Chain A
């Protein structure tokens, strides 16, 4: 287990990932700062196309070919990793220290290889372990995620959706990484199966002290594990708060509108949608990117707001934060 010190586990500064496309440069990730503490779960929330999956891919450098530029810095336990050479990164960071469960990974299992062998494979490749030793470890991780070990010799089609999702989670956990990135781990699953996966994640977090970066658009499910929430909009983080503050008192107008759009099961509040659409990432507006849809818009919003510190560990990208007296003003 990693010894504790004061440095955050992962600190990301001004991360930028731009893609080439026929229409121009797509600024998918456009200056993102993030901090993930040890044994904490950071939820990266955002709607489709906001750049949240690109951010995960940038962190692990699993990039497509049409990358225009990748810039910024990221310190993993104090060591800068964006500047590492590809070979160094592959050997020392990816999967060993930061593992990822990709979106729809449960459907990417090889249908003709037994699941145990698939979970054992990275151990054999990365560590050069024997087949037997790797399979033993695969069995241990299966128990961690709540799959009986006799499923090691089954094929993916013999497993239910929830089991397959737990199997790919086992694959990510096999090397005891410090950070696991989960990209939409439950969005293809039903309610009960979703709740079951979230239970498994909570237990792993308690038992192994693993940190998580959970990327999702599912606001209700994200509250199942979140310690911190980073809300992303059009390539930028617009709010970074503790889960308690974010879900109880969202500060950014987009955060407020987004939470109001979630249908509640236990409270009779009619959900409200957010009019309009997010801006293009090819030519994002010069000012605040949410301004067009924002009920609190005023003159300053034509300039790009910086991240304002509202409280220690709480940052909001909104001009309303600049003048505290403006906070409670009514919709114009």
Chain B
């Protein structure tokens, strides 16, 4: 099963596909639709790079900005500030036409496959749609591509599925159609926003295996957005942990899961159970409180009000920069400041 192993298959030539600098996506908050009363800082100063052929997991709780990040990368939200460099161009400055062309390079796998597929369209029509939108008028070529896409997601033989409506398919099959649709324009980047959270345990692994396999075969870049750290180990190369609109820790998968250095990452890992009868005997230690408001986030480190290790006079005043710990491993926490 070495083709699934983590940390492999990254093409070093022209390695960077996507480079995000100081990205902000804020939403204006208005009272009575007029008076501006603040901003929801959903994404607040992100810096990261994604290489060709690598799978990066963005992990965090709801409201940490991970879905806003996905939608910003898709060009559905315009960034408030910062830049998104892809293949030498800054997407933040694109006009409508350029955005349209840009979206061909990106496939989107939604969370809820049933909601993502139009219920009145047959699978063939669902898969033809992106081809039409992007100017492919050749019926024969369309049909060829549709069948190839179905084969790629293992819906075989394709004839069986072409005339099915979404409700006639199981959840796993629906998600395969969503993946086929995301792949059909041969994108360079796939954004999968909680691709398996609506599916059953036994199907989740099947879909994640498929996504990972296709990503590696095609040398695609995959942004895998999830709230569930336990699904990440075998399906991504690196993890970025987000909290209140910012990245608080980033590392290769095994490093992050085995040696987390940010107290928030540590808390997340501590809270997640493995199936174990001994769990019933213990009360888990959890950080107090809830994630902060994104309208007026806490001063200094955004995790300080909940942090068991907060240093008085420092953490609530100065936002920590990201301190390097090892190559590829960094944590935005004062505890990791080199002495």
Contact = CB atoms under 8 A, between A and B. Distances in A.
Interface of A: 41, 47-48, 160-162, 190-196, 198-199, 202-203, 217-227, 242-244, 246-248, 257-259, 261-268, 270-274, 277
B205 A199 contact: no
Interface string B308-335: 0000000000000000000000000000
A247 B202 contact: no
A191 B227 contact: yes
Nearest to A45: B201
Nearest to A200: B283
A226 B30 CA distance: 47
Contact of A277 (B170, B280, B290): B170
Closest 8 CB pairs of A and B: A195-B271, A273-B206, A190-B61, A47-B200, A274-B202, A273-B205, A243-B277, A244-B277
Contacts, number: 122
Nearest to A265: B230
Contacts of A261: 201-202, 204-205
A227 B280 contact: yes
A196 B205 contact: no
A190 B276 CA distance: 20
Nearest to A275: B206
B269 A225 contact: no
A259 B201 CA distance: 9
B20 interface: no
A225 B280 contact: yes
5 contacts: A47-B202, A199-B286, A220-B275, A244-B277, A261-B202
Nearest to B201: A261
A262 B201 contact: yes
Contact of B277 (A190, A203, A221, A248): A248
Contacts of B206: 273
B205 A191 contact: no
Contacts of B283: 199, 202-203
Contacts of A264: 230, 274-275
Given A199-B283, A273-B203, A273-B209, A263 B230 contact: yes
B230 A202 contact: no
A179 B171 CA distance: 33
A107 to B, nearest CB: 13
A144 to B, nearest CB: 15
Interface string B229-242: 11101100000000
A265 B279 contact: no
B94 interface: no
B171 A219 contact: no
B205 A190 contact: no
A199 B275 CA distance: 16
A47 B274 contact: no
A242 B172 CA distance: 31
A47 B201 CA distance: 8
Nearest to A203: B283
